[in-house]
Every structure is written in structure tokens, then in C-alpha cells.
């Protein structure tokens, strides 16, 4: 449904798919927080919520602001919808439902997913980061997104989930297409291609689940099959498939964006990079500030279960709202000098980049560890790392996720021996 506000003009100009909002939406968000903190966007058919207090309150209030079916993306053309029907609905994912369904799925995930125990994974994460740097260290320049930030999270997560290493390039393409289908507008032909890709991705994961039912392995898919929660039936193949895809997408998409953006922010602020060169103990705080300053998940939608008022605006039941974490994280009422990248920011200034309430990201600890270790390895191996290329960076054309298309960097390669 579309509901036009009786007054207000912010939504008339808001378009996150094109410049200037695509590459730098923050001046617009700042103006919206001051003059129209909740506004309707015709482009998105969403009510956009920009202030920290409103975003946090709505994110924690699943009774009035439901996740069930909220993450449905833009409307598919008839041909793409027919192709998508060859796969499985994206409903039933942990990010896209409420209690009691969410409670049940989260209980299974918490039982088997030991990503919070990151210490055991850190040596392998460090080895993976080092091997990736080995692949380009002698070149003197690289696109750090394609050579480092994108491949690293999938290489880290694939053995945990039991995904064959040889399949990772194809999985990477499936992730890109599946995410594009719900985050940006495209032609009918592109929709059909991405819908076909998403269906193939779903069937691929279902095949892995069925294979593990025949023969267990030491991986999360097998653990989800065997997991038991008192009073709950075991997970179905489709439920496991949706959980696995959610985990893979989170690693392959959002963690990759975190790695690229964190390095860009550090290099853009030369003193921040020099500071961690002097003292690597500041890296965890720098990761938190990067998460606040430019989060990989720009925001997430919710569906109003009844007529609600938020930010002084009355929104009807059935309308969708867009909780913009990226704007909330720069709210002047919450953060001191919010537009400044400050790696030594006070720990009490908590951001919303991993969500809030029951939908707080279960992989947050692993994402933080990967970003910290990635920066540590780059610091050790490429101390004179610097930005290269002309002009400001280009960001993805998407409204739910935010990340760099590429990050051109340079350094002085080691002398040949």
C-alpha cells in the first residue's frame, strides 16, 4: 500500500539509489532529523525513521513494528515472480519473522552456532587474511574490496557451515544476485536473472541439507539437523536452508562491507591510520567507530501491526517503516560530534549497527573479530597503505545494505630478492 503524508517534503527528494543519497546520504539524514524525522518515501513505499530514540524504540517493539514479511524487497515483475516461485519463499528467515517463530528459530541457532566463541576461530581468520594479502602484496596496488574484503568472510564461514571451498565463487555470485533482488531496482530482465539465481542458490543449500541428513559431518548444517529444543519439532529442510542462507548472506555481504568501509575510513583519516600503526590496541575501538559511522546494514524495514504514532507522525496499520540505523548512529542528541570519525569515542555511545532487541545480529562477535584481525594483518603487512584512485569512492546502489563498489589502495611493495 502507499500512503502519502498530509504534509512534509523530505520524501519527495529522497532516493537512495542515485547520487547524492547513494554515496553520501548523511547530510540529508541530518536535515531530516531536524525538520522531518519521520517521512514517507514514494520511491521505497516506506515511512523512513531517522532519529536514534525512535529507531531504537521501534526496533525493540515487535508487537507494533513487526518483522514478519517486512523484508520483501521491491515488487517483482510477473516473469521474475514466476521464476522466483521455482525456489522457496524468503519468509521464515530469522530476520524476517517475530515470536513465536523467531523465538523457535533463534533457540536452534543459539544451541548450535558457536560463532560467539570467536577465540577458537581467530588463528584461522588470521591465516586466511594473511593468505589473501600474500596474493597481492607484491603488486603495489589493488582493489581491496574484490581482493580482500569480499573473499575473506566466506573463506572464514564456509568450513563452519560445511560449504565446499571450490563452490565459493559461485556462492559469491548467488549472494550478490539474491541481495540485489531485495535491495535495488532493476530492469525486468535483471529481475528474472536474479530470481533464477536465487532459486538456484536455495536448491543448492537444500541439496547440502539433504546430503547431511544421509551423512553427518562436523558442521553447522549437521548440528542444526540434530538439534533438539524441548517442546519443539526438529527443524525442517527449508527452515535449515533459510537459516544457512541468512548466515551466509550476512557473512558474504555485510561483513565484507564492514571490512572495506572500516579500512576506507581509517585511510581517509590519515591520523587514525597512523594511530593504530603506533598502537594496535586501538583497533577494536576503531572497528566500533567504523560500524557507527557507516554501518554495512543501512537499516531494516518493519510492518506496523496497528495504527501507531512515532516521531509525532501517525502511521496506519499495514504500512511499512524503514528504521535507518545509519541515520540514528549520527543523531546529535545521542552522539557528540557525530559527523566526526573518532576511534577513541566513549564506549557509552552505543550504535545500532547490529540492530536492537530480539533481532540483534547473532554473528556480531565474529564480524567484529574479522574486522579487527583484517586491520591487524593489513597494519603488519602493508604499513604504508594509502588511498589511490581519483575522486570519492562509489557506493552500492542499494537501500538496505551499504558498502563500497571498490576501494583502490596502494603501498610500496617489498623489494624483490
According to the model, what pLDDT value does residue 8 have?
A: 52
- Cell numbers for 84, please give them: 522466483
Residue 5 covered by a domain: no
According to the model, what pLDDT value does residue 416 have?
A: 64
Between the alpha carbon of residue 221 and those of residues 151, 160, 188, 248, 270, the distances in Å are 21, 9, 34, 12, 43
- Looking at the chain, the whole-number percentage of residues with pLDDT higher than 90 is 65
State yes or no: pLDDT of 353 exceeds 90.
Answer: yes
State yes or no: pLDDT of 269 exceeds 70.
Answer: yes
According to the model, what pLDDT value does residue 93 have?
A: 65
Residue 363 covered by a domain: yes
Q: In whole angstroms, what is the distance from residue 85 CA to residue 199 CA?
A: 8
Residue 89 covered by a domain: yes
Rg from Cα positions in the chain: 21
The domain total for the chain is 1
Residue 251 covered by a domain: yes
Residue 389 covered by a domain: yes
State yes or no: pLDDT of 241 exceeds 90.
Answer: yes
Residue 209 covered by a domain: yes
Contact partners, residue 53, CB within 8 Å, separation at least 6? 331, 333, 334
Residue numbers of the domain that contains 264: 10-410
Residue of 321, 400, 330 lying closest to 59 (CA atoms): 321
Q: In whole angstroms, what is the distance from residue 221 CA to residue 52 CA?
A: 37
State yes or no: pLDDT of 31 exceeds 70.
Answer: yes
According to the model, what pLDDT value does residue 5 have?
A: 39
At 6, is the pLDDT very low, low, confident or very high (cuts 50, 70, 90)?
A: very low
At 246, is the pLDDT very low, low, confident or very high (cuts 50, 70, 90)?
A: confident
According to the model, what pLDDT value does residue 391 have?
A: 78
Q: Per-residue pLDDT tens for 82-109?
A: 998 999 876 656 676 667 777 787 777 7
Residue 405 covered by a domain: yes
- What is the mean pLDDT of the segment spanning 306-319? 95
According to the model, what pLDDT value does residue 249 have?
A: 84
According to the model, what pLDDT value does residue 73 have?
A: 59
Q: Per-residue pLDDT tens for 288-298?
A: 999 999 999 99
According to the model, what pLDDT value does residue 105 have?
A: 78
- What is the mean pLDDT of the segment spanning 271-290? 95
| CATH number for position 203 | 1.10.630.10
Residue 417 covered by a domain: no
Q: Give Cα 137 to chain centroid, integer Å.
A: 28
Amino acid at each position: 500500500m502507499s500512503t502519502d503524508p498530509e504534509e512534509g517534503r523530505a520524501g519527495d527528494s529522497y532516493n537512495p539509489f542515485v547520487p547524492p543519497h547513494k554515496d553520501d546520504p548523511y547530510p540529508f539524514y541530518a536535515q531530516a532529523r531536524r525538520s522531518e524525522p519521520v517521512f514517507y518515501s514514494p520511491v521505497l513505499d516506506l515511512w523512513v525513521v531517522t532519529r536514534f530514540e525512535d529507531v531504537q524504540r521501534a526496533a525493540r517493539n515487535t508487537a507494533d513494528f513487526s518483522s514478519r514479511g517486512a523484508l520483501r524487497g521491491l515488487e517483482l515483475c510477473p516473469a521474475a515472480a514466476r521464476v522466483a516461485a521455482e525456489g522457496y519463499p524468503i519468509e521464515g528467515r530469522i530476520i524476517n519473522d517475530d515470536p513465536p517463530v523467531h523465538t523457535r528459530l533463534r533457540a536452534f541457532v543459539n544451541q548450535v552456532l558457536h560463532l560467539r566463541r570467536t577465540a577458537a576461530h581467530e588463528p584461522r581468520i588470521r591465516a586466511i587474511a594473511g593468505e589473501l594479502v600474500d596474493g597481492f602484496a607484491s603488486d603495489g596496488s589493488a582493489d581491496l574490496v574484490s581482493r580482500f574484503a569480499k573473499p575473506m568472510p566466506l573463506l572464514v564461514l564456509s568450513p563452519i557451515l560445511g560449504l565446499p571451498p571450490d563452490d565459493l565463487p559461485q556462492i559469491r555470485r548467488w549472494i550478490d544476485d539474491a541481495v540485489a533482488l531485495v535491495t535495488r531496482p532493476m530492469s525486468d530482465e535483471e529481475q528474472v536473472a536474479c530470481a533464477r539465481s536465487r532459486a538456484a542458490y536455495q536448491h543448492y543449500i537444500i541439496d547440502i541439507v539433504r546430503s547431511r541428513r544421509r551423512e553427518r559431518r562436523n558442521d553447522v548444517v549437521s548440528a542444526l539437523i540434530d538439534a533438539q529444543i524441548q517442546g519443539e519439532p526438529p527443524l525442517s529442510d527449508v527452515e535449515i536452508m533459510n537459516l544457512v542462507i541468512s548466515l551466509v548472506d550476512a557473512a558474504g555481504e555485510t561483513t565484507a562491507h564492514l571490512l572495506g568501509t572500516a579500512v576506507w575510513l581509517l585511510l581517509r583519516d590519515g591520523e587514525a591510520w597512523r594511530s593504530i600503526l603506533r598502537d594496535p590496541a586501538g583497533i577494536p575501538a576503531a572497528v566500533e567507530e567504523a560500524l557507527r559511522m557507516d554501518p554495512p546494514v543501512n537499516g531494516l524495514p518493519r510492518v506496523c501491526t496497528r495504527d501507531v504514532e512515532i516521531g509525532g507522525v501517525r502511521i496506519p496499520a499495514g504500512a511499512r517503516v524503514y528504521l535507518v540505523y545509519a541515520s540514528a548512529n549520527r543523531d546529535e542528541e545521542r552522539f557528540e560530534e557525530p559527523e566526526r570519525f573518532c576511534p577513541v569515542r566513549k564506549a557509552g555511545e552505543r550504535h545500532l549497527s547490529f540492530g536492537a532487541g530480539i533481532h540483534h545480529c547473532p554473528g556480531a562477535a565474529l564480524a567484529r573479530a574479522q574486522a579487527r584481525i583484517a586491520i591487524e594483518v593489513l597494519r603488519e603487512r602493508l604499513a604504508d597503505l594509502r588511498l589511490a584512485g581519483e575522486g570519492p569512492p562509489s557506493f552500492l546502489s542499494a537501500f538496505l545494505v551499504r558498502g563500497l563498489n571498490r576501494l583502490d589502495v596502494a603501498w610500496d611493495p617489498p623489494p624483490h630478492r
